[in-house]
Amino acid sequence: MKLKPEEKLQIEIAQTFNHLKDLGKIDKNVLLYSNRNENAKGGLNGAIAGGIYKKMGRVAGVPDLTLIWRDKSGKLNLVYIEVKTPEAYFTKNGNISKSMGLSKDQQRFIAKYLVPLNIPHIIIYSLDIFLDFLAELKIFKK
């Protein structure tokens, strides 16, 4: 199966995160997990699978990853992470896209649930941006 660029980047992010945890550079209690929300099947099979996934609780537009940890004060923190590649971020003319690469469903989910509930979220376009973000959160020391 050929992976899409965003899938490759998400794998790179998850593997690097887990490797850093194994090295002790990220606390073992910090959790990064996938919110697998895509439907790779097309046609009739895709429509049937999509119906089943919806009955199972699938929600269109949910970000790709969730990061959960407790800070030193014991406060529980949560951040949703959407993984995009730079190709999704820039238009064919080289300008920054208005959607920042987000689909309509992703834009709706963020506007309806994350923004009103003040739930932090970020769009990650590269492994370096992800590592910088973890360092900013004081989860990882570069």
Q: CA 80 to CA 32: how far, in whole Å?
A: 10
- The predicted model gives 49-54 an average pLDDT of 73
Domain boundaries, the chain: 5-136
Does 46 have pLDDT greater than 70? no
Task: Report the C-alpha gap between 35 and 43 in whole angstroms.
Answer: 23
> How much is the pLDDT for 121?
96
Q: Which CA distances in Å does 49 have to 1, 34, 42, 43, 75?
A: 18, 19, 9, 10, 38
Nearest to 36 by CA among 78, 15, 13, 7: 7
DSSP-based three-state secondary structure for 33: strand
Please identify which residue in the block is written with the tokens 């370096």. Answer: 128
**pLDDT value of residue 2:** 85
Whole-angstrom distance, CA of residue 72 vs CA of residue 139 = 10
**Average pLDDT for residues 49-64, to the nearest whole number?**
80
pLDDT tens digits, one per residue of 84-113: 987 776 677 777 667 788 889 999 999 999
| Residue bearing the bigger pLDDT, 95 or 4 | 4
Q: Which pLDDT band holds residue 141 (cuts at 50, 70, 90)? A: confident
Residue 67, Cβ neighbours under 10 Å: how many? 21
pLDDT attached to residue 38: 62
Residue 131 confidence (pLDDT): 97
pTM over 0.75: yes
- Which of these ranges, 11-25, 72-86, 88-102, has the smallest mean pLDDT? 88-102
Strands (E), the chain: 31-34, 65-70, 76-83, 121-124
